Amino acid sequence: MLIDFFYTLRAAKLPVSVKEFLTLLEALKLGVVGPKTPQAEDDETGDAPQGYKIEDFYFLSRATLVKDEKHYDKFDKAFAAYFHGVELITDITQDIPLDWLKKTLDIHLTPEQKAAIEAMGWDELMETLKKRLEEQKERHEGGSKWIGTGGTSPFGHGGYNPKGIRIGGPGQNKSAVKVWEQRAYRDYDDTQELGTRNIKVALRRLRKFAREGHVEELDLDNTIRSTATNAGYLDIKMRPERHNNVKVLLLMDVGGTMDEHIARVEELFSAAKTEFKHLEFYYFHNCVYDFVWKNNRRRFAEKFPTWDIVRKYNKDYKLIFIGDATMSPYEILQPGGSVEYGNEEAGAEWLGRLTHAYPQFAWINPEPQGVWQYRQSISIVQQLMGGRMFPMTLKGLEEAMRLLSQ
């Protein structure tokens, strides 16, 4: 039963044992989730057990087969690859009817039409959304007023508006100032094999070694020299071990538009964990506010106040931001501008506090440098960083490391 599912997980390099797989089968047989049916016990087809909802089976199999949360993302990919075409695992639409969110109309506007759309101000945008929710009673496609798909309304998804609130569906024009959904971000994989050794070489420009501590390692060069001058009699020389004294505080943007850059950020993250012994990392989304987190699946349950980060790590740490800085300007300049919650202070305030607390800082941007001038938010972040924004290229990394090593 479900043997192919087991092999799919193993092919995805998940450390799933036969004993754990047997535990899953036993749980299904005992009816731990869903109704206990003969079909569920005797199914030999390799499909999801009959009589069970796919989301129930998903959570049961993850609980029995995955021992470490760092493997959740690999498990999700393998699960989706095996049970392709199944229903959504979770409902992230909250109270919005799902059929509203299915994109059935894709309007292509001319430059003149786009230029004619006037963006609402922040207060007017939020007030108008409240009125639409009270007035609208049915599904809507296209148009310029109601919540729906396509069209030029500032509410919904799949259409065009320079500043709107995305409700369901995928992002398209990267201009939403709020997002009505709870999104699941995944942690960057720090075991990702590097596609190029050049990233590690660039990061080494920041490493500063020092001799410290007790005699711990063989000094091969001095041993050879001393033995030669001692008429061939072995004369072993020891020396203090070399330690990398550089301390790095890494803050990484995750989710949303950063999904396009996951592979490159994982390479950089892996290289940083290899090169820097003293590395502390946290996640944020779009802009840093009053809290950050270490695990994306528990980002609302296990928050780390930004003030605590400032107090915990002294100014000896080199502060490195990694993010595309692509967001609505409201998210940087406006209290309550975060797409996920009502932040009391603007992101610009927190960026200022962090750069003041850590004089040696830099921002690494994976977005192509050629588009920076067309993104208002990138220009704002560049100003807040005092021009210390570098592209995620070999040259950009070398320049950033050279600046931080001064």
Write down the domain spans for the chain: 3-82, 100-180, 198-205+245-404, 212-243
Degrees to nearest 5, angle at CA 211 with 207 and 217: 110
d(CA 63, CA 69): 10
Q: What is the pLDDT of residue 303?
A: 92
Q: What is the pLDDT of residue 95?
A: 43
Q: What is the pLDDT of residue 12?
A: 84
Other Cβ atoms closer than 10 A to 341: 11
d(CA 123, CA 180): 17
- Give bridge partners of residue 292 from the DSSP assignment: 304
Q: What is the pLDDT of residue 377?
A: 93
Q: Which CATH number fits domain 198-205+245-404: 3.40.50, 1.10.260, 3.30.519, 2.170.130?
A: 3.40.50
d(CA 120, CA 128): 9
Helix, strand, or coil (residue 163): coil
Mean pLDDT by 10 residues, the chain (406 residues): 83 88 88 60 48 77 85 83 54 41 41 52 60 59 51 52 52 51 57 54 63 62 87 80 76 90 87 84 94 87 94 93 92 89 92 95 93 92 94 88 87
d(CA 318, CA 291): 19
d(CA 404, CA 359): 9
30 close to 52: Cβ distance less than 8 angstroms: no
- Give bridge partners of residue 389 from the DSSP assignment: 363
d(CA 247, CA 206): 10
Angle between helices 376-384 and 347-357 (to 10 degrees): 30
Other Cβ atoms closer than 10 A to 266: 19
176 close to 165: Cβ distance less than 8 angstroms: yes
Q: What is the pLDDT of residue 387?
A: 93
- Give bridge partners of residue 360 from the DSSP assignment: none
DSSP-derived pairing of the beta strands 291-292 and 304-305: antiparallel
pTM of the model: 0.53
First to last CA, the chain: 61
